[in-house]
Chain A
Amino acid sequence: MDLPQDEAQLIEKAKAGDPASFELLIEGCKTKAYNTALRYLRDEQDALDVLQESMIKVYRHLGQFNSDSKFDTWVYRIVVNTCNDFLRKNQNRKNTDSIYRVREEEETTFDIPDRSPTPGEALDSKETMRMILECLERLDKDQKEVIVLRDIQGFSYEEISDILQCSIGTVKSRINRARHKLRDMIVEQNKDRPV
């Protein structure tokens, strides 16, 4: 895969040990990497720790990057793997602090496309989002993974295939199954209240 000229130069400089080039290189993917870790781990501090560890790994293994994939995708793959390692190490840790916990003091509203929500609808949306994200946590790891990458982070099928190191067909079928299971769980939880 051909890298942009600037990116290729930055990679070469970073490989040579130039920290400024490395910072520029990761600047474009840092926020998305952080949000991916945040959706995986549901904890701001854990996400920051994983992000830092991931960037150190990126720097350490920069020499092994061989331009077979996009640099960003390679970074996201490292972030996802580091998240999985982190979750595996902290399996038994009780997760008490959720980023999805509704902060009573904040009046957060979420825009629903093609609709202009009234304040009451916005509150409903917030509740719905919280409920959906809670159900997402109960999905299998693989299913949660593809939902986070595809539906929350907005990666393409090809990018997800690169990040998870599996075929595009596998990604599509996994996403389809995960969405149906998530929908079933939501319906089951809200029998008296349609989604």
Chain B
Amino acid sequence: MKTIDKEYIADQQIDRIVKILHSVPEESIPEGFDHRLRAALMSEMTHSNHQPVSATRSTGFFSSRRMRIGMSLAACFVVGILSISMYNSGMWDPPISPGTELSGSAGAGGILSEEEMASEADTYVETEAGVLGDPLDGGIVEERTETDDRALEEKVDPNPQQPMQITSDPVSRHGGQFAELRDEQILYFSLAERYLNGQQYELYTYTWDLRTGEHRFSLLVWETGTEAVTGRSIVLVGTRGEIYEEQQPDESIEPLRSD
């Protein structure tokens, strides 16, 4: 019963509140507003008649949201493709160090003529088998057998330029300094052998100067005279695609053996 009374009282109070709110008087618009509004409308009319086309208003082809998203995705795709192709072409590989630059350009292809390059292919086989294969064990070319020659001929690359194209070698392109050094070794060993022109020799030491890029060969060359076989120590220096004999201050010829 009390609840019903409470609700009844609440409803009565709400009714009274609503009646009071209904009785809030209506205010009239202050004088002068009509003039103000008319002026604003005239200004708006003038503005709308002479309104320039907004540069930022989206119109035409680019107004579609889907189109804008599609263009963005296409741009991302193109950038990705370009990045992958540039990576594969090696544009982003680290630069080759100065020490290895010599063998690639000046050492092999830069100085040697085409004729020399052709002969390089021949000497390549020889050095692979004779000198470089086990240089400290002898290195006497004449001791090779015919079987070895045939076996080596099978290893000859049909393209004679192949051994000299070290810059295109994927191993050396990816920072393989040792691969390039090996190519230079082959080159200068072959040049040294040509320089000795069939003379018998023993290789004592081989050094590669990292600073100057010189390949130094210390050799004992056997010279057959009329009475005895003598040995002469020489130093061959290979650099810039050439090889020369270093002048010794006191060249000594000592007899090694006698017949």
A binding-site residues for B, Cβ under 8 Å: 17, 19, 22-23, 30-32, 34-35, 38-39, 44, 48, 51-52, 55-56, 59-60, 99, 110-113, 125, 128-129, 132-133, 136, 147, 151-152, 154, 179-180, 182-183, 186-187, 195
Contacts and interface: CB of A to CB of B under 8 A. Distances in A.
A51 B33 contact: yes
B41 A195 contact: no
B258 interface: no
A124 B105 CA distance: 108
Interface stretch (B16-24, B59-67, B95-103, B162-170): B16-24
Nearest to B22: A151
Given A17-B45, A19-B41, A111 B23 contact: yes
A112 B23 contact: yes
Chain B interface size range: 20 to 34
B194 interface: no
Given A151-B18, A179-B18, A129 B23 contact: yes
B36 interface: yes
Given A23-B38, A52-B36, A151-B18, A31 B28 contact: yes
Contacts of A35: 26-27
A151 B48 CA distance: 39
Given A22-B41, A60-B48, A151 B27 contact: no
Contact of A113 (B14, B17, B23, B40): B23
24 contacts: A19-B42, A19-B45, A23-B38, A23-B41, A35-B26, A35-B27, A39-B24, A44-B27, A48-B36, A51-B29, A59-B41, A60-B48, A110-B24, A125-B20, A128-B20, A129-B20, A152-B22, A152-B24, A180-B10, A182-B17, A183-B17, A186-B17, A187-B13, A195-B16
A52 B40 contact: yes
Given A48-B33, A111-B23, A129-B23, A55 B17 contact: no
A111 B16 CA distance: 12
Contact of B17 (A23, A30, A125, A132): A132
Interface of B: 10, 13-14, 16-30, 33-34, 36-38, 40-42, 44-45, 48
Counting chain A CB atoms within 10 Å of each CB, the highest count among B18, B21, B40 belongs to B21
Scoring B19, B20, B33 by chain A CB atoms within 10 A of each residue's CB, the highest score goes to B20
A174 to B, nearest CB: 15
Given A17-B45, A23-B38, A151-B21, 7 more contacts: A34-B27, A35-B26, A38-B27, A48-B36, A52-B40, A55-B37, A183-B10
A129 B16 contact: no
Contacts of A136: 21
A132 B25 contact: no
A57 to B, nearest CB: 10
A151 B17 CA distance: 9
A112 B16 CA distance: 9
Contacts of A154: 22
Given A48-B33, A51-B33, A151-B18, A183 B23 contact: no
A154 B22 CA distance: 7
Contacts of B26: 31-32, 35
A186 B21 CA distance: 13
Nearest to A114: B19
A16 B242 CA distance: 95
Nearest to B21: A151
Given A31-B28, A56-B41, A180 B14 contact: yes
Given A19-B45, A110-B25, A183 B38 contact: no
A56 B44 contact: yes
A136 B20 CA distance: 12
A152 B20 CA distance: 9
A187 B14 CA distance: 11
Nearest to A45: B30
A34 B34 CA distance: 12
Contacts of B38: 19, 23
A179 B17 contact: yes
A30 B24 contact: no
Contacts of B19: 112-113
A64 to B, nearest CB: 14
A125 B17 CA distance: 11
